[in-house]
Amino acid sequence: MNTNSSKPLVTEQLTPVGQAIEYDSFAIIDAEVGSHRYDLHQWPIVRRMIHANADFDFNGLTEFHPDAVSAGVMALLSRNSSIVADVEMICVGLSTTRLSHFKIRPHQFISDVDVIAQARAENTTRATQAIRKAHSLGLLNGAIVCIGNAPTALIELIRLIREEHIRPALVVGMPVGFVSAAESKDMLAELDNIPWIIVRGRKGGSTLVVAAIHALMQLAEQHERATRR
C-alpha cells in the first residue's frame, strides 16, 4: 500500500478505484489464507500470485532461495539489469510504466527465425535455443531470468549455470505442465549459489511470473522511497 499520499507509487494501480479494488482483494486474501510460513518480504509476492490466479495453493507451493527477494530488489534498483523471459507473454504482461521506472528492457527470443531454425537443426525445443541465444548475446549474467512456460528453457538455464558458470541475479522458475515441469523446478531448487523463486509441482505459468515480478518491483520502489527519507 502507498505510504506516501503526495505521490503515488509507480508500481501501484493508476486510479483510486483500481487501487481500492486491489487493496480489497489483498485484504480478502489475507483474511482467508490462514497460516503461512512466508516472511514480510516474501508474502507480498505470494499474495500477488494468489491474486493473479485466485488459487490459494500457491500458499505452500511457492518456495524462495534465502537471498531471492533481496537479490531481485537489488537487481531492479541497480537500473543496470535486464529481464530475460522464455516466452513473449511474460514481456507483454509486464507493465511498461514499471519497467521504465527501473530502466529495464525485457527480452525474449522464442519466435526468432534463427532460434526456430536451430531448434529444427538440433532437434531441440525453441525454448532451449532461445535461452542459448540470450547467453550468446551476453544477457543472462546479472539478469532476472523468468521461466513461466517451458521446462526445457529452465533445464537449459540450469545447465548453463552448472557448466558455463553464468550468474543470473535471480531465476523466477515457474514453468507449467505435465512433462518435466515439476522436475525442472526441483533441479533449480538444488542450486544454492543462484537465488531463485519456484512453484513446486505442475502448476505455474506466465501470469504467475508476471505477478511475482510486479510484486518485486513494488518492494523495490518501497525500499527506494524508504531510503530517501
Q: What is the CATH number of the domain that holds 197?
A: 3.40.50.10230
Domain carrying residue 83: 60-228
Q: 137: which 3 cell numbers?
A: 548475446
Q: How far apart are CA 100 and CA 123, in angstroms?
A: 37
Span 171-184, pLDDT tens digits: 999 999 999 999 99
**35 found inside a domain:** no
The angle formed by the CA atoms of residues 93, 94 and 99, to the nearest 5 degrees, is: 160
**19 found inside a domain:** no
**78 found inside a domain:** yes
Query: Residues 36, 51, 107, 135: which is the catalytic one?
Result: 51
pLDDT of amino acid 12: 75
Span 123-174, pLDDT tens digits: 999 999 999 999 999 999 999 999 999 999 999 999 999 999 999 999 999 9
Q: How many domains does the chain divide into?
A: 1
**9 found inside a domain:** no
**43 found inside a domain:** no
User: Which residues, listed in sequence order, are joined to residue 85 by a DSSP beta bridge?
Assistant: 146
**223 found inside a domain:** yes
CB atoms near residue 83 (< 10 Å):
25
**75 found inside a domain:** yes
State pTM to two decimals.
0.92
Model confidence at 2: pLDDT above 70: no
Span 67-101, pLDDT tens digits: 999 999 999 999 989 999 999 999 999 999 999 99
**1 found inside a domain:** no
Does residue 51 have an active-site annotation?
yes
pLDDT of amino acid 6: 54
Q: Are 130 and 148 in contact (CB under 8 A)?
A: no
